[in-house]
Amino acid sequence: MYKINIIIQMKFRKEYDTIGKINVPNDKYWGASTERSKKFFDIGEIYVQKVLIKSIAIIKKSAAIVHKKDKQINSKIANAIIKASNEVIKGNLQNNFPLKVWQTGSGTQTNMNVNEVIANRAIKYLGGKLGSKKPVHPNDHVNKSQSTNDVFPTAMHIAIALETKSKLLPSLNLLNKELMKKVKKFKKIIKVGRTHLQDATPLTLGQEFSGYQSQLKDCIARIKIAIKEIHFLAQGGTAVGTGINTKKNFDKKICREISKLTNLNFKPSNNKFAALAAHDSIVNFSGTLNTTAVCLLKIANDIRFLGSGPRAGYGELDLPANEPGSSIMPGKVNPTQSEAVTMVCVKVIGNHTGITIAGSQGQFELNVFKPLIAHNILQSIDLIADSSKNFAKFCVRGIKANKNKIKNDLENSLMLVTALAPIIGYDKAANIAKKALKNNTTLKDEVIKSGLMNEREYHKIVDPKKMTHPA
């Protein structure tokens, strides 16, 4: 038996920055700045989201297009940058973005990571040597007319807008659609209402679900309003908002190119100083996600409570059985989709708290909590989108009403006595309800026993259907 030791010799190239030289893996397109960042910001396990990298690449491509048109960059170099940016946008170079979220508060390391990858890839197209910064320089060419301070907030806005359009709104609309179907399907099913977790007057199951659907519809409307602010970009403000090292109207020109690439209508921010130093529009947008989380938490909890049982719970809803619910209790089925949604909601609410605090930390001309804000908002969008879609497909769509349980609970409800109050008075009605509870009898039994009315009169007044709407 022979023991074989295999040593894989990784090959490196020398790259340099203003600090000095550093070894960079030969098979990677990142440069010195990224390599240093890997060492000094090796914090946690959370990496910068792919959509943020994509959004930065969209900025780099758009800038190169503008510079090419304005003859600020040689066409050959600009075309190489555009080609390399396209690869990043498509996700083809994803293993070249190794940085964690927790870095400098402006996001400089991530911006430079993208600059270096695009520059080195462009160098390869043009037959140059990786790491040489010739003929394509990560700062002078890829980052031309830009600063991390305006690139990163612009990328945040682009990423939020893209994810909202492609994922968040479609998922919420799907859930809204499934809830609408239940509103219609359950409109004739009369059930016991509950307030303070106690029996209350009747309503239809459709009316109950209409409350959920209305909540969600309003959340969707809020998101559509809040996203309008996100379409204003910081790009063109450069370091502190003045636009130093840009040409006049660069902000307008790059916004037009970004709009073309994303099929979204982006415009320059009305005030670049505010766009760099504060992120109120993102805090506001996060607020709509926070409200959506509150809404979904209420809906998911109600549905899992109404589906509790099968014999010792409320049992009004039959929820889809997607998977076994217990490792020890055979036959158990749990409301797993509801539970997943509620956990997501708690996380989103927590994310909003983080964004709120981070948004308040804009000292002078720069907010230095940008990576945290970006991570939290994009994670919240992603979680709400995925959980809403799953909740719609694997729970709400398959919900059925347990009509027998609902009917039995309704017939035994003491709160039907509310219909008697206008006829016999509040005090007498309350006394009837208390006697029925004490004697374990029905309201009808106690009313007839009291001599206040006969059976025919009782049924004429106490009609659950009539109690679900104004007289």
In degrees and rounded to multiples of 5, residue 199 shows phi and psi of -55, 140
- Annotated catalytic residue, options 326, 360, 450, 459: 326
Q: Cα separation of 299 and 316, whole Å?
A: 15
Q: What is the pLDDT of residue 9?
A: 64
Query: Quick check: bond before 202 cis, omega within 30?
Result: no
Confidence at residue 6, expressed as pLDDT on a 0 to 100 scale = 52
Please report, for the chain, the start and end positions of each structural domain, with discontinuous segments joined by +.
Answer: 12-144, 153-235+275-404, 412-468
Say which residues have a Cβ less than 8 Å from residue 358's Cβ, sequence separation at least 6: 279, 367, 369, 372, 373, 376
CA distance 88 to 85: 5
Class of residue 465 by CB neighbours under 10 A (exposed 0-12, middle 13-18, buried 19+): exposed
CA 399 to the chain's CA centroid:
24
- Beta bridge mates, 12: 25
Beta strand 366-367 with 12-16 is unpaired
User: Which residues have a Cβ under 8 Å from the Cβ of 429 and sit 6 or more positions away?
Assistant: 417, 418, 420, 421
Among this protein's residues, is 171 annotated catalytic?
Answer: no
* Beta strand residue intervals within 17-112, DSSP E: 21-25
Gyration radius of the chain's alpha carbons: 31
Q: For each successive 10 residues of the chain (471 residues), what is the average pLDDT?
A: 57 93 96 97 97 98 98 98 98 97 98 98 97 97 98 98 98 98 98 97 98 98 98 98 98 98 98 98 98 98 96 95 87 93 98 98 97 98 98 98 96 93 95 95 93 93 95 86
DSSP class of residue 47 equals B
pTM of the model: 0.95
Give the per-residue pLDDT at 363. 95
State residue 320's pLDDT score: 94
Q: Does the structural domain 12-144 have CATH classification 1.10.10.10?
A: no
Residue 6 Ramachandran class (φ > 0 left, ψ -120 to 50 alpha, else beta): beta
Burial class (CB in 10 A: 0-12, 13-18, 19+), 451: exposed
Nearest to 319 by CA among 308, 330, 311, 328: 308
Pick the catalytic residue from 75, 147, 171, 196: 196
Beta pairing partners, 232: 267
The answer to whether the 153-235+275-404 and 412-468 domains have the same CATH topology is: no
375 belongs to the catalytic site: no
Torsion of CA 175, 287, 345, 180, to 10 degrees: -20
Contacts of 124 (CB under 8 A, 6+ apart): 29, 130
CB 113 within 8 A of CB 99: yes
Q: Prior bond to 25 cis, omega within 30?
A: no
Does the domain at 412-468 match CATH 1.10.40.30? Answer given as: yes
End-to-end CA distance of the chain: 92
For residue 303, the one-letter residue type is: I
CA distance 135 to 115: 14
User: Hey, what CATH class is 153-235+275-404 in?
Assistant: mainly alpha
